[in-house]
């Protein structure tokens, strides 16, 4: 019987049941389930892992609740600069974009970069030129305007502070009080035994100077290799860059012979805890093992697999 599986995340952090209204919890879970279904349907039809992670991440990018695509946070200049990466575990091909504006689905652009640019990573205006040439959908500034993200930015725009996707919640804000990372990602194993990973983010509110995080960097926030695993991360990018987190998980499997679970445990629950960081990652291997691993209170996450699992969750337990 063919085996396939898809895992997704929509960010990790201080996410407690007491912070979300029942209505908001439903909206998050619906958003996660829709993204899971979008990718899983492709896998069920015999589609490949790369297309499945792209479809799942596109659905999350289209949902304003998550900090990617439509829901991307505001930069210091008051616009949106997005980072994303996709990687094919079969070939180790990768495509990434950083600091891109006006792209409706940055993950689609990443796939096009991988397949058609002859490069791995494109940035800023050059990436936009390439997108236009390839017919990738763009969107006007208004598309990326979400009132609660705007308020997040207004609170700190006159300071030097930058922050992850967290804030004290306003009355009308769907973002709960506390600290959370809203980056989105997906990892998949397809029925041909191939792995893929995709990650997309708006980065940090009020970020300056063209700041780029870990999400578009191969091996830091995103990685896939059929020899080991596919990984997508969420957390404070500066630390993930320094700890080369996604590749570290893969290396522990490749060079130390760790299982997927051991490798994720070591990196998330040991190394990153020692760095004092709240964060999480999702990972799958070619044996259909999966990990939705985090050291924070919660992580927006979901898993669906050919063994019949279909589950979305938010908090530290099974919920
Ligand atoms: N890793 C992302 C960044 O630092 C943030 C996140 O995970 O939400 O840009």
Average pLDDT over residues 307-317: 93
Average pLDDT over residues 102-126: 98
What atom of ligand 1 comes closest to residue 181's alpha carbon? 8
pLDDT at 179: 58
Burial of 245 (0-12, 13-18, 19+ CB in 10 A): buried
Closest C-alpha to ligand 1, atom 4 = 237
Model confidence pLDDT, tens digit, residues 200-219: 999 988 898 999 999 999 99
pLDDT at 109 over 80: yes
Residues 261, 262, 268, 272: what is their CA dihedral angle, to the nearest 10 degrees? -170
Mean pLDDT of the chain: 91
Between the CA of 237 and the centroid of ligand 1 the distance, in Å, is 5
Q: Which residue has the higher pLDDT, 47 or 15?
A: 47
Task: Specify whether 14 is catalytic.
Answer: no
User: Best of 163, 215, 272 to mutate for ligand 1, by most ligand atoms within 8 A of CB?
Assistant: 215
Model confidence pLDDT, tens digit, residues 168-190: 443 444 444 445 678 999 999 99
Model confidence pLDDT, tens digit, residues 124-165: 999 999 999 999 999 999 999 988 888 877 877 777 666 665
Between the CA of 191 and the centroid of ligand 1 the distance, in Å, is 30
pLDDT at 161: 66
pLDDT at 246 over 80: yes
Please state, in angstroms and as integers, the Cα–Cα distance from residue 5 to each residue in 85, 200, 208, 310, following that order.
20, 20, 38, 10
- Would you say the CB of residue 205 lies under 6 angstroms from ligand 1? no
pLDDT at 167 over 50: no
- Catalytic entry in 183, 201, 205, 228: 183
Ranking 19-23, 120-124, 298-302 by mean pLDDT, the lowest is 19-23
Between the CA of 193 and the centroid of ligand 1 the distance, in Å, is 29
Average pLDDT over residues 107-119: 98
What atom of ligand 1 comes closest to residue 235's alpha carbon? 7
Q: Which residue has the higher pLDDT, 182 or 100?
A: 100
19-47: b or e for each residue (b if 16 or more CB lie within 10 Å)? Answer: bbeeebbebbbebbbbbbbbbbebbbeeb
- Would you say the CB of residue 48 lies under 6 angstroms from ligand 1? no
Which domains, ranges and CATH numbers included, belong to the chain?
5-315 (3.60.20.30)
Q: Which residue has the higher pLDDT, 278 or 244?
A: 244
- Would you say the CB of residue 95 lies under 6 angstroms from ligand 1? no
Between the CA of 76 and the centroid of ligand 1 the distance, in Å, is 16
């Amino acid at each position: 019987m063919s085996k396939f599986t898809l895992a997704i995340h929509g960010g990790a952090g201080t996410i407690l049941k007491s912070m979300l209204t029942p209505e908001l919890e439903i909206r998050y879970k619906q958003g996660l389930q829709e993204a899971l279904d979008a990718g899983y349907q492709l896998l069920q039809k015999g589609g490949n892992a790369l297309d499945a992670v792209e479809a799942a991440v596109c659905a999350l990018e289209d949902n304003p609740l998550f900090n990617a695509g439509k829901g991307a946070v505001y930069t210091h200049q008051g616009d949106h600069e997005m980072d994303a990466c996709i990687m094919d575990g079969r070939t180790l091909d990768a495509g990434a974009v950083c600091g891109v504006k006006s792209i409706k689905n940055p993950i689609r652009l990443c796939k096009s970069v991988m397949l058609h640019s002859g490069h791995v990573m494109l940035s800023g205006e050059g990436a936009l030129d390439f997108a236009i040439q390839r017919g990738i959908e763009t969107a006007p500034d208004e598309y990326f305007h979400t009132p609660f993200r705007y308020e997040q930015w207004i609170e700190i725009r006159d300071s030097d502070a930058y922050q992850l996707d967290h804030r004290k919640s306003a009355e009308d804000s769907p973002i709960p009080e506390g600290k959370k990372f809203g980056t989105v990602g997906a990892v998949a194993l397809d029925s041909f035994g191939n792995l893929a990973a995709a990650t997309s983010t708006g980065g940090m509110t009020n970020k300056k100077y063209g700041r780029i995080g870990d999400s578009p960097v191969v091996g830091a926030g995103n990685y896939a290799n059929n020899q080991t695993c596919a990984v997508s991360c969420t957390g404070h990018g500066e630390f993930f860059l320094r700890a080369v987190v996604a590749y570290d998980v893969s290396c522990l499997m490749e060079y130390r012979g760790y299982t997927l679970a051991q490798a994720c445990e070591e990196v998330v629950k040991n190394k990153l805890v020692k760095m004092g960081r709240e964060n999480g990652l999702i990972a799958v291997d070619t044996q259909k093992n999966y990990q939705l691993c985090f050291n924070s209170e919660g992580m927006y996450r979901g898993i669906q697999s050919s063994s019949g699992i279909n589950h979305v969750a938010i908090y530290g337990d099974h919920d």
